[in-house]
Amino acid sequence: MTATTSGTDAPSDVPETAHFRFFTLEVLRTRRLGHSFLRVTFGGESLADFRSGGYDQSLSLFLPCGDQEHAELPSTDEDTWFGAWRAMPDGERPVMRSYTVREQRRTADGTDEVDIDFVLHGTATPAASAAGSPASRWAGRAVTGRRIMAIGPAVAENKSVRFQRPEGVGAVLMYADETALPAAAAILERLPAGTRVKAWFEVPHADDRLGLHTLADTDITWIVREKGAGAAERAERVVSELRAAELPTAEAPYTWLAGEAGTVRAVRRHLVQERSIDRRAVRFTGYWRLGASEEQLLAEAYAGKAPSEDPGSEL
């Protein structure tokens, strides 16, 4: 999940400081949602100033390295934090990862909570997540009282909410893999009754087909990924499902695509070239790329080599 920057030396996937600030998040509880999903609920006094814009609101988490219990940064100043973070020694530098705010709420006692859903990559239990990604390892071991830092929204109208359905558009097309499913679920919950939605959700395990709540008239196709499938096979399987589908009748359905970058590009190409959907109506985001670590993607963004996600960009 990416956002632009303003007035700093940070790359393009670090949120704009005018819209975002630092927060300290404390783990309150965790809950297993499916084979691959774990929900972590955070609290903390600083969340009183947290202003999620809903839908696919993203934020940047700083997760502790190795066996460290908490994540701390040497600076939270908007002009110096990024350089200070990059200068930290390997093994001490918190891992920065982008995630979606699944839900923000005010509790009966007046405190604020934020849910973030983590994917436990390739694991059957949280305890086994040590073999997964840094975020999976941290989430699988998260216990009440652990603290992390985050750059999150200080205003609800911010540029890290990418789902922006134009007024009057009554049909929505969606594609998400497991990394984008929490965002897709949050979007569906906010869509009003009468909205027609056709969605394709790709997950690694049959037990990841979660029950999703929405007032919209929604038709969901679940695609359970074949184990060991390569990038081309994955993309072709998804596009084949789209080719076989009848789309909602609408002159210009709003389209939201998020997940593995190669598959997202293939889906976008199919919808624009084969289904004649206006590319300007397609919002697409590569949350990750098969074969590349998030550190590599961050380095590309830092060097200005990140691929364009502008709706008018070439296919």
Same domain flag for 25 and 110 = yes
Mean pLDDT score, 265-283 = 94
Q: What is the per-residue pLDDT for 168?
A: 86
Distance of CA 37 to the CA centre of its chain: 13
Same domain flag for 149 and 25 = yes
Residue 282, pLDDT above cutoff 80: yes
- The domain boundary, picked from 153, 187, 213, lies at 153
Q: What is the per-residue pLDDT for 306?
A: 57
Q: Number of helices (H) and strands (E), helices first, in the chain?
A: 6, 12
Q: What is the per-residue pLDDT for 11?
A: 46
Domain assignment of residue 126, yes or no: yes
pLDDT in tens, 30-58: 999 999 999 999 999 999 999 999 999 99
Number of folded domains that form the chain: 2
- The three-class DSSP label of residue 261 is helix
pTM score, two decimals?
0.86
- The domain boundary, picked from 125, 153, 181, lies at 153
pLDDT confidence bin for 288, thresholds 50/70/90: confident
* C-beta of residue 168 within 8 angstroms of C-beta of residue 156: no
CATH number of the domain encompassing residue 145: 2.40.30.10
Cα torsion 74, 137, 205, 216 to 10°: value is -30
Same domain flag for 129 and 179 = no
Name the more confident of 310 and 263: 263
pLDDT confidence bin for 294, thresholds 50/70/90: low
Mean pLDDT score, 24-31 = 97
Same domain flag for 180 and 290 = yes
Domain assignment of residue 310, yes or no: no
Residue range(s) defining the domain that contains residue 234: 171-302
DSSP H or E segment with residue 100: strand 95-100
Residue 103's beta-bridge partner residues? 115
pLDDT confidence bin for 12, thresholds 50/70/90: very low
Q: What is the per-residue pLDDT for 4?
A: 32
- What is the chain's mean pLDDT, rounded? 86
Q: Are strands 37-43 and 112-119 parallel, antiparallel or unpaired?
A: antiparallel
CB-based burial label for 273 (10 Å; 0-12, 13-18, 19+): exposed
pLDDT in tens, 179-238: 999 999 999 999 999 999 999 999 999 999 999 999 999 999 999 997 777 778 889 999
Same domain flag for 125 and 237 = no
Same domain flag for 148 and 24 = yes
Same domain flag for 176 and 246 = yes
Mark 189-217 as b/e (b = at least 16 C-beta within 10 Å).
bebeeebbbbbbbbbbbeebbbebebebe
